[in-house]
Copies of this chain bind each other. A is one copy, B any other.
Amino acid sequence: MIPTRTVPDVLRRARDLVGPAVVDALALLSPEVRPLVEYHLGLRDEHGRPATGGAAVGGKGIRPALAVLSAEAVGAPAQAGVPGAVAVELVHNFSLLHDDVIDCDQERRHRPTVWVLFGVGRAIIAGDALLSLAQHVVLTTGGQPEHAGLAALSLADATTDMIAGQALDMAFESLAGVDVERCLTMEAGKTGALLGCAASLGAILAGAPRPEVTALRDYGVQLGLAFQAVDDLLGIWGDPRSTGKPAWSDLRQHKKTLPIAAALAAGNGGAHELAALLAADHLDEPQIARAAELVERCGGREIAADEARGRLAAALAALDRVSLDSRAREELEDLAGFVVVREF
């Protein structure tokens, strides 16, 4: 049996395979749109000059690795998953471009966001262009037309779910109470859908049977929810030195995340005190520290940690339902552990 690769090797290999294909896809953008996207990815500065520090596949490259492994998991070559990986990266960046406008975020990775530099209109257009380009990529390079069509549908539906999640998140701003159930629904849309799509797209493009595709998608959705629960924990208790954000960041920003929703649902004195604190427009440092303490005391931290562990177990269990290539499967298991087990 071929030995499994380490997680860093799996990620590096996927970035190496997918990065050039993303660059090829970006070349199809119109001359007015392409520089904005390349700026967004850190490949160019705001004057269109080549920049260092960016990459066609940014971050750790979890999504492309999932797409590539999902092809291998059903016995296809890694290359079969590449169009899916490219498409998922493009959809991810579509959502970042639009979310930055929607959330009025002024910075991303320590650089001004596209709408800040180029205007809201151009940021919208750039996102729109990536969404159409993603469909173009799966439909033209996704192999057999029938498989490519199914992949395009999976991509469109994951995008729909992401958008629904974002819409629900926006509705939370004006909702008196955000309950745990709706919070999980929102996170399933915002994070689960695209990871579920990434984790099954390679298998879909390879023409895998439905049970394998469904199991891989479930793995990805659960992994996304686990990832999001960890992110929510780090958003409050993450070490500023590793998150790059101030302590209690999500409480500062009045985000309604799982630990906060769970704490508010406790319905006890602490929950009432927390609700009163969060209703204020501005909190000073001692109040933010007190809010974090209350979230923990009302069980929000423990519930989110349980959620992360439970979703990780569910992700791994999904892989048990079908017969997959043993190496790819082990690598998917390792990747799940890597994604979820961060400090919290």
Do the beta carbons of A156 and B139 come within 8 Å of each other?
yes
A168 contact set on B, CB distance < 8 A: 30, 32
A106 contact set on B, CB distance < 8 A: none
Do the beta carbons of B136 and A124 come within 8 Å of each other?
no
Q: Check A140 for interface membership: any CB of B closer than 8 A.
A: yes
- Complex Cα distance, B170 from A133, in Å, reads 20
Do the beta carbons of A121 and B170 come within 8 Å of each other?
yes
- Encode contact with B along A137-161: 1 for CB under 8 Å, 0 otherwise: 0011000011011101101110110
A135 contact set on B, CB distance < 8 A: 135, 152-153, 155-156
Interface SS of chain A:
helix
Do the beta carbons of B120 and A101 come within 8 Å of each other?
yes
- Complex Cα distance, B163 from A125, in Å, reads 6
- How many chain A residues touch B (CB < 8 A): the figure is 43
- Complex Cα distance, B127 from A167, in Å, reads 12
A150 contact set on B, CB distance < 8 A: 145
Q: Check A12 for interface membership: any CB of B closer than 8 A.
A: no
Q: Check A122 for interface membership: any CB of B closer than 8 A.
A: yes
If A136-B157, A149-B149 touch, whether A128 touches B32 (CB-CB below 8 Å) is: no
What are 30 A-B pairs at a CB distance below 8 A? A30-B167, A32-B168, A33-B163, A33-B164, A94-B128, A98-B128, A102-B121, A103-B121, A120-B120, A121-B170, A125-B170, A127-B128, A128-B128, A128-B159, A128-B163, A129-B164, A129-B167, A132-B160, A133-B156, A133-B160, A135-B135, A135-B153, A136-B153, A136-B156, A136-B160, A139-B152, A139-B156, A140-B153, A145-B145, A148-B149
A interface residues with partner B (beta carbon < 8 Å): 28, 30, 32-33, 94, 98, 101-103, 120-122, 124-125, 127-129, 131-133, 135-136, 139-140, 145-146, 148-150, 152-153, 155-157, 159-160, 163-164, 166-168, 170-171
- Known A132-B157, A139-B149; 15 more pairs at CB < 8 Å: A30-B163, A32-B167, A32-B168, A98-B124, A98-B128, A102-B120, A102-B121, A120-B120, A122-B167, A122-B170, A127-B128, A128-B131, A129-B167, A132-B163, A149-B152
